[in-house]
Amino acid sequence: MSSRNGHLLEVKNLRTYFDTEDGLVKAVDDISFSLQRGETLGIVGESGSGKSVTNLSIIRLIPDPPGKIVSGEVVFNGQDILLLPPEEVRKIRGRRIAMIFQDPMTSLNPFLKISKQLMEMTQLHLGYTKAQAYEHAIKMLETVGIPDARTRVDNYPHEFSGGMRQRVMIAMALSCQPELLIADEPTTALDVTIQAQILELIKKLKQETGTSVILITHDLGVVAGMTDHVIVMYAGKVFEQARTAELFARPGNPYTKGLLRSVPDPTSEQGKLYQIPGSPPDVARLKPGCPFAPRCERVEEICRREFPPFVQLNADHYSLCHFAREVFDASEATNK
């Protein structure tokens, strides 16, 4: 699928700020990345890193006020979504870019039958008749592996378990065969065995339909198994981006490196876990210099003074760090 022109989505210099009682919060501050057709991009970050705001910005769901997309471009299929009138954005949302969220119960209407909610998608976006939409709803439930779909389609959301609701969400999201699926922590609220089912399902549907996926998660294990590219976010910035295999093998940023080392690896014997000291910063009160400097083990005077450069380390590999090259070279050495 990655033949013609390659990029399905290009985010350029996106800035999304929130006006809060604490002052101006630069939730997303000048980030750029792109997504190839047919690829899965992982966005990793801790709370407050801006990963969810990034994706709400892509589909223009930032509550305004207090939020505002201050500048940047979100080029989807050659068209800047940020310049489109609201009714055009609504046509794209759900039809060409679909989203699934962590908690399916907040995105499903508890008073409406599943059939009604699924039918709405195709009736609205594809102009299906009621009968067509109903049949399509059943077909979608079957696709996502809901047993006895013809009966279950007329159930209400509360009659489904957590894992089944997430399947319903995926069925709804994929109803109109979107080109891009944004999945924001889709398995965080689920049990491990159910998580495995949902991740397998997303992989399978991706292969069958060629949909590109943005997967937002805090779980580095999920990233390792599901994605082609990763961007690591911290304090509203992209700290590192690379192909997934390279990011894990040769991280070029002290934050990424620390994060990778702080996760228990069940396949190897470890003593004390590496720990990054301190906590993620309050983005309303960022000091000059690198936002990670107070927690960084490679910190030097310059880090507290000057904002770090976004250094290219390899094809498709960038890191926001004054010492990116050194960190990158060192992690190659330790992996040999």
**Residue (16 or 227) nearer to other proteins, CB:** 227
| φ, ψ of residue 214 in degrees (nearest 5) | -110, 120
CB of 191 to other proteins, least distance (A): 4
Q: Choose between 108 and 119: whose C-beta lies nearer to other proteins.
A: 108
Q: Which of 71/279 has CB closer to other proteins?
A: 279
Between residues 70 and 286, which has the closer beta carbon with respect to other proteins? 286
Task: Report the interface residues with other proteins, using CB under 8 A.
Answer: 46-47, 161, 163-164, 191-197, 199-200, 218-225, 244-245, 248, 258-260, 262-267, 269-270, 272-277, 279-280, 295
Q: Which is nearer to other proteins, 36 or 77 (CB)?
A: 36
- In whole angstroms, the minimum distance from the beta carbon of 194 to other proteins comes to 7
Minimum distance from residue 278 beta carbon to other proteins (Å) = 8
Report in angstroms how near the CB of residue 16 gets to other proteins at its nearest.
Answer: 21
- Three-state SS string across the chain, please? CCCCCCEEEEEEEEEEEEEECCEEEEEEEEEEEEEECCCEEEEECCCCCCHHHHHHHHCCCCCCCCEEEEEEEEEECCEEHHHCCHHHHHHHECCCEEEECCCHHHHCCCCCCHHHHHHHHHHHHHCCCHHHHHHHHHHHHHHCCCCCHHHHCCCCHHHCCHHHHHHHHHHHHHCCCCCEEEEECCCCCCCHHHHHHHHHHHHHHHHHHCCEEEEEECCHHHHHHHCCEEEEEECCEEEEEEEHHHHHHCCCCHHHHHHHHHCCCCCCCCCCCCCCCCCCCCHHHCCCCCCCHHHCCCCCHHHHHCCCCEEEEECCEEEECCCHHHHHHHHHHHHC
142, 88 in Cβ contact below 8 A?
Answer: no
Shortest distance, position 70 Cβ to other proteins, whole Å: 26
Cis ω on the peptide bond leading into residue 65 (within 30° of 0)? yes
Taking the complex as a whole, the smallest distance from the CB of residue 208 to other proteins amounts, in Å, to: 17
Pairing state between β 97-100 and 180-184: parallel
Residue 178 beta carbon to other proteins: minimum distance, rounded to whole angstroms? 25
CB of 263 to other proteins, least distance (A): 5
Distance in angstroms (rounded) separating the CA atoms of residues 72 and 76 = 13
Which residue, 192 or 333, is less far from other proteins as judged by CB?
Answer: 192
Residue 297 CB, nearest approach to other proteins (Å)? 13
Decide whether 65 or 266 has the Cβ nearer to other proteins.
Answer: 266
- Residue with smaller CB distance to other proteins, 94 or 254: 254
CB nearer to other proteins: pick between 255 and 318: 255
Rounded CA separation 221/244 (Å): 11
